[in-house]
């Protein structure tokens, strides 16, 4: 039996159906409101902030945007993808900017 904590490294080529690409939801979130596990499934609740006008003020409401459920192997694969995406972001931040955009002052 395969170790559920270790993602399979040699899964072969993966083909993603082109019919699913356009229908997949885009999930935006500002943070993870809570997390846990149940019966071997990782559970993460994703949340986003909503700005709600209240007279002349603004109230921030937090709403759940997704309920993420996955296996341990899928969670490890997601963490690896996030780590790699963050490394790419950091590397891009270190590139010299060819032309600075002047700040606009009001």
Where exactly are the structural domains of the chain?
Answer: 27-93
Ramachandran quadrant class, 38 (left: phi over 0; alpha: psi -120 to 50; beta: rest): beta
Tokens of 18: 């082109």
pLDDT, tens digit (0-9, with 9 covering 90-100), for 4-42: 555 555 556 778 777 777 788 899 999 999 999 999 999
pLDDT, tens digit (0-9, with 9 covering 90-100), for 36-93: 999 999 999 999 999 999 999 999 999 999 999 999 999 999 999 999 999 999 998 8
- Please check whether residue 16 is in contact with residue 35, taking contact to mean a CB–CB distance below 8 angstroms: no
Per-residue pLDDT for 102 more than 60? yes
The whole-model pTM stands at 0.67
Mark out the alpha helices in the chain (DSSP H runs): 18-21, 72-93
Per-residue pLDDT for 1 more than 60? no
Contact partners, residue 5, CB within 8 Å, separation at least 6: 72, 73, 76
Provide the pLDDT for residue 19. 78
């Amino acid at each position: 039996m395969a170790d559920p904590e270790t993602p399979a490294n040699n899964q072969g080529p993966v083909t993603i159906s082109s019919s699913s690409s356009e229908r997949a939801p885009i999930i935006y979130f500002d943070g993870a409101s809570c997390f846990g596990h149940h019966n071997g499934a990782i559970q993460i609740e994703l949340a986003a902030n909503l700005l709600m006008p209240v007279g002349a003020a603004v109230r921030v409401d937090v709403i759940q945007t997704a309920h993420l459920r996955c296996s341990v192997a899928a969670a490890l694969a997601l963490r690896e993808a996030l780590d790699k995406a963050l490394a790419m972001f950091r590397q891009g931040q270190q590139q010299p900017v060819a032309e600075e955009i002047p700040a606009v002052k009001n």
